Amino acid sequence: MRVLVTGGAGFVGSHLVDRFLEEGFQVRVLDTLDPKVHPHGRPNDIPSDVDFIQGDITDRGTLLAALQDVDIVSHQAAYQDYMPDFSRFLYVNAVGTSLLYELIVQEKLKVKKVIVASSQAVYGEGQYVCSVHGFFQPAPRSQEQLSLRQWEVRCPVCNQQAESCLLQESNTNPYNQYAVSKLAEEKIALGLGWLNGIPKYRRGDNRNSVSKVDKLKTLGWNPKYDLSAILDDFLAWVESIGGIPAQIQDAYGAMRRAGVVLPAMVGR
């Protein structure tokens, strides 16, 4: 199994490379060795058994060469920090990620899975509740407010201090060039991945519908229903509607023909 780690010379990528090697993968790295991240050039701790390509993910030929015979892509390369070249963030993070999908689809590459790093930056300042005006997603705190050493987020309507609340992942609020580019990258990966079946087996994949709950039980969680009770309920319902409807058999046949039905797996 071969994995391509883009940005594999960086902070996160280099740890992933070590872990992939430990797990027995053949590892290839594509990294431009951005001088802002690597002022001393190529880090000397890149393991010797890594197939290292120095190059840019936005370069079509380079990326295509790096993708040859790859099963999994762990996409960590990104343009970061508060730099003033706004367009470069979109170019590397959004255009670079769409080029990855474009090549996989156009060249019919055998990539089975793409893992993309998003960022908490896509949620901006987080999510808050005002006791009078309810839920809101704050704009960045102003320079004026911060210079008064008022760190807490305030309601935009009544200006009273608001309480932070648990983040709803569906509510994003990016407000700088990095955050916008990372949200674009995330949406590209989710959208193009879904449309083109990358990873292919996610279509019609029910492997997460039955989870191993032993670890949650040791934390004190006591599930209300066990799996056999759920299955009994389901089968009773199927019987109550007069058996399995014909369209389910048709859909099952269509899915089998399309190769999207996998045998059930227990465990990892």
Indicate the residue among 55 and 197 with the shorter CB distance to ligand NAD: 55
Cβ count within 10 A of residue 45: 9
Whether residue 94 contacts residue 185, with contact meaning beta carbons closer than 8 Å, is answered with: yes
Indicate the residue among 117 and 155 with the shorter CB distance to Zn ion: 155
Q: Binding to ligand NAD by residue 186, rule CB under 6 A?
A: no
Q: Binding to ligand NAD by residue 66, rule CB under 6 A?
A: no
* Stretch binding Zn ion (CB under 5 A), from 85-93, 155-163, 172-180, 185-193: 155-163
Q: Which of 4, 5, 9, 70 binds ligand NAD (CB under 6 A)?
A: 9
Q: Binding to Zn ion by residue 132, rule CB under 5 A?
A: yes
Strand order in the sheet with 134-136: 134-136, 128-130, 163-164
| Residue 50 touches which member of Zn ion, ligand NAD, none, C-beta under 5-8 Å by kind | none
Signed CA dihedral, 83, 86, 91, 95: sign only: positive
**262 CB contacts (<8 Å, ≥6 apart)?**
201, 205, 207
* Start-to-end CA span in the chain (Å): 17
Q: Binding to ligand NAD by residue 4, rule CB under 6 A?
A: no
Q: Which helix (H) or strand (E) holds 135?
A: strand 134-136
- Footprint (CB under 5 A) of Zn ion, residues 196-235: none
Q: By the criterion CB under 6 A, which residues form the site for ligand NAD?
A: 6-7, 9-13, 30-34, 37-38, 56-58, 76-80, 92, 96, 117, 119, 182
